[in-house]
Structure 1
Amino acid sequence: TGTSQADCAVLIVAAGTGEFEAGISKNGQTREHALLAFTLGVKQLIVGVNKMDSTEPKYSEARFEEIKKEVSNYIKKIGYNPAAVPFVPISGWNGDNMLEPSSEMPWFKGWAVERKEGKADGKCLIEALDAILPPSRPTDKALRLPLQDVYKIGGIGTVPVGRVET
């Protein structure tokens, strides 16, 4: 999958009543996708808590904090360091905290992460994306090309598909 070639995963978690609970349940998609990303070697993670406009009450700080706590506990169990993962409350429908800070969530002072390469902080999702650290891809080492697929094309031959790592 494309996930195996990603430098970062953005896990979008629905904040709506019942939606989050379904996603974080034993066989829920939130758990499944976080585990899949980690298993496939995606080292960096961003969590967008979406549909903040659908919480009760709307744009609820308590709901965001509850989701942040539960998702942090789960991603820690699978191998991510929650202190290095930005959590951003967003509304994709209304554009809240996507490109600029939202007036609907004055309680959200921003996200901050600590990692061995240093600290980073911001207030919206685009800033979390901008803070992704590009992995080192040494050019002085032997060629390493993890294969994603192999195609047999008539008249051309066998074509391996992957991403150059070194």
Structure 2
Amino acid sequence: ETGTIKAGMVVVFAPANVTTEVKSVEMHHEQLEAGLPGDNVGFNVKNVSVKDIRRGNVCGDTKNDPPKEAASFKAQVIVMNHPGQIGNGYAPVLDCHTAHIACKFDTLLEKIDRRSGKSVEDLPKFIKSGDAAIVKMIPSKPMCVEPFSDYPPLGRFAVRDMRQTVAVGVIKAVEKTDGKGGKVTKAAEK
């Protein structure tokens, strides 16, 4: 939905931290010069095994705002249908792009008015259905997200619990980390 991809480009997958070169780009089994935003393309990469990358990884250009693992992020969350109260420490599953990862509501920073976006309470003890809040969230496993203002598809999420969507959110800011380890293929070092 954002960005372009061409053969010869050096890309990194986050949060797997795998760097490699794109060998070819194709759409419906036909070779393409480049994939553009909105295109549903397949691409071949050099010397990367299926074990190195997985669903939820984000691929990006190493030279242009490469994707990185999120250590934590701040999001505006709207609680839709949660039967109880949500407090610090709540750790539901977030569905964000194709990632499906538990994230902890680390700190409820402020409760806000849904219409104006103005703060109505700092550091609330809990939030409930109908409330909107700014929340600091910490992923339980490596995850790659981005602010909604920069990359909309990577900056919105659904909060799942009790087999339903209990809240939705928009990411405002991300604290990134370089993650651990990683792999750079020979093709990427040229």
Please give the TM-score of this superposition, normalised by the length of structure 2.
Answer: 0.23
Instruction: Say which structure is richer in strand.
Output: 2
Please give the TM-score of this superposition, normalised by the length of structure 1.
Answer: 0.25
Greater length-normalized contact order (CA 8 Å, ≥ 6 residues apart): 2
